[in-house]
Chain A
Amino acid sequence: MNWVIAIWSALIGACAAMAFPHLLLSARQRRGAHLFFVLAATAVIGIAIAELFMMRAVSVEQFAHAQQWTHLPIFLLVVAIVGFVQLYFRSGRLWLGLTVIGLRFSTLVINFAFPPSLSFSEITGLRHVNFLGANVSAPVGVLSAWTHLSELSSLVLLVYVVDASIRAWRGGTVGNRQRAIVVGGSIAVFILVAAGSTALIHRQIIQAPYMVSFPFAAILVAMAFELGSDLFRAGQIAQRKLSEASLRDIEERIALAAEVAQVGVWELDVATNRVWLSDKVREMFAIESEVVTYEEFQGRVHPEDRAARHTMIQAAIQTNGSYEIEYRVVLPDGTQCWIGGRAHCICDANGKARRLLAVSMDVTKRKQAEELFRLATEASPSGAVLIDNRGQIVLVNARTEKLFGYRRDELIGRPIEVLLPDRVKALHRGHFIACSETGEMGAGREFIVRRQDGSEFPAEIGLSPIETPQGILVFASVVDISARKASEEEARSRREQIELLSRVSLLGEMTASLAHELNQPLSAIVTNANAGMRFIDQGQVDPEQLREIMVDVVADGDRAHDIIQSVRSLIKKGTTVRTRLSLNDVVRNVMHMVQPDAAAHSCQVELLLADKLPAIDANPMQIQQVLINLLTNAFDSMDDAPSDRRKVQVATEHDGNGTVSVRVRDHGPGIPDSARERLFEQFFTTKDDGLGMGLAIVRSNVEAHGGTVRVENVEGGGAGFYFHLPASNGKPS
Chain B
Amino acid sequence: MSAKAMVFVIDDDPSVQKGLKRLLHSADYESESFQSAAEFLARAPHPGPSCLLVDVQMPGLNGLALQEALIQRRREEQLVFITGHGNIPMCAQAMKAGAVDFLPKPFKPNELLKCVERALARSVKQRQHATEKTTTRAMLDLLTPREFEVMQLVSTGLLNKQAADELGIAEKTVKVHRGRVMEKLRVNSIAQLVRLVEKAEVPPMVPRS
Contact = CB atoms under 8 A, between A and B. Distances in A.
Interface of A: 512, 515-516, 519-528, 530-532, 534-535, 538, 549, 552, 555-556, 559, 595-596, 599
Contacts of B25: 531
Given A595-B59, A596-B57, A522 B15 contact: no
B105 A519 contact: yes
A528 B57 contact: no
A516 B109 contact: no
A515 B16 contact: no
Contacts of A595: 57, 59
Given A515-B85, A519-B84, A599-B62, A531 B105 contact: no
8 contacts: A519-B105, A520-B105, A525-B19, A527-B109, A528-B19, A530-B109, A531-B109, A559-B15
A534 B18 contact: no
A552 B18 contact: yes
Nearest to A527: B19
Contact of B23 (A519, A527, A599): A527
Nearest to A534: B26
B22 interface: yes
B16 A527 contact: yes
Contacts of B110: 530
A527 B31 CA distance: 15
Interface of B: 13, 15-16, 18-20, 22-23, 25-27, 57, 59, 62, 82, 84-85, 104-110, 112
A520 to B, nearest CB: 5
Nearest to A526: B106
B85 A527 contact: no
A510 B119 CA distance: 35
A552 B85 contact: no
A714 B16 CA distance: 40
B106 A552 contact: no
A519 B106 contact: yes
B15 A516 contact: no
Nearest to B110: A530
A516 B104 CA distance: 10
Contacts, number: 80
B57 A523 contact: no
Nearest to A559: B15
Contacts of A532: 22, 26
Closest 10 pairs (CB-CB, A-B): A527-B19, A534-B26, A519-B84, A530-B109, A531-B22, A519-B105, A524-B15, A531-B23, A522-B106, A528-B19
Given A528-B19, A531-B22, A599 B105 contact: no
Contacts of B57: 516, 595-596, 599
A523 B105 contact: yes
Nearest to B89: A600
B19 A531 contact: yes
A528 B22 CA distance: 7
Given A527-B19, A528-B18, A596-B85, A535 B26 contact: yes
A531 B26 contact: yes
Given A515-B85, A596-B85, A524 B26 contact: no
Contacts of A549: 22
Given A515-B85, A528-B19, A556-B15, A523 B106 contact: yes
Contacts of B109: 526-527, 530-531
B143 to A, nearest CB: 49
B101 to A, nearest CB: 15
A123 B131 CA distance: 218
B43 to A, nearest CB: 23
A535 B26 CA distance: 6
Specify which of B19, B27, B82 lies most central, judged by the most chain A CB atoms within 10 Å of its CB.
Answer: B19
Given A512-B85, A515-B85, A522-B105, A530 B15 contact: no
Contacts of B22: 527-528, 531-532, 549
Contacts of B18: 524, 528, 552
B84 A552 contact: no
Contacts of B26: 530-532, 534-535, 538
Nearest to B19: A527
A519 to B, nearest CB: 3
B16 A520 contact: yes
A2 to B, nearest CB: 171
A378 B48 CA distance: 99
Contacts of A596: 57, 85
A547 B62 CA distance: 33
A512 B18 CA distance: 24
Contacts of A531: 19, 22-23, 25-26, 109
B20 A527 contact: yes
A525 B106 CA distance: 9
Contacts of A530: 23, 26, 109-110
A531 B104 CA distance: 19
A538 B28 CA distance: 10
Contacts of A523: 16, 19, 82, 84, 105-107
Contact of A516 (B23, B62, B82, B85): B85
B94 to A, nearest CB: 14
Contacts of A519: 84-85, 104-106
Nearest to B18: A552
A701 to B, nearest CB: 26
Nearest to B60: A604
Contacts of B105: 519-520, 522-523
B65 to A, nearest CB: 9
A596 B90 CA distance: 12
A523 B18 CA distance: 11
Contacts of B62: 599
Given A519-B104, A523-B105, A532-B22, 15 more contacts: A519-B84, A519-B105, A520-B15, A520-B16, A523-B106, A524-B18, A525-B106, A527-B20, A527-B109, A531-B22, A531-B23, A534-B23, A538-B26, A555-B15, A559-B15
A524 B19 contact: yes
B97 to A, nearest CB: 17
Specify which of A534, A538, A559 lies most central, judged by the most chain B CB atoms within 10 Å of its CB.
Answer: A534
A552 B23 contact: no
Nearest to B107: A523
Nearest to B64: A599
Nearest to A553: B19
B38 to A, nearest CB: 14
Specify which of A515, A520, A525, A595 lies most central, judged by the most chain B CB atoms within 10 Å of its CB.
Answer: A520
B19 A520 contact: no
Contacts of B84: 515-516, 519-520, 523
Nearest to A512: B85
A521 B15 contact: yes
A123 B4 CA distance: 218
A552 B19 contact: yes
A552 B59 contact: no
A553 to B, nearest CB: 9
Nearest to B104: A519
A588 to B, nearest CB: 12
B36 to A, nearest CB: 13
A289 B142 CA distance: 150
A556 B82 CA distance: 18
Nearest to A517: B84
B93 to A, nearest CB: 13
A524 B14 CA distance: 9
B27 A534 contact: yes
B60 to A, nearest CB: 8
A532 B19 CA distance: 10
Nearest to A521: B15
Specify which of A515, A528, A556, A559 lies most central, judged by the most chain B CB atoms within 10 Å of its CB.
Answer: A528
Nearest to B15: A524
A161 B61 CA distance: 162
A536 to B, nearest CB: 9
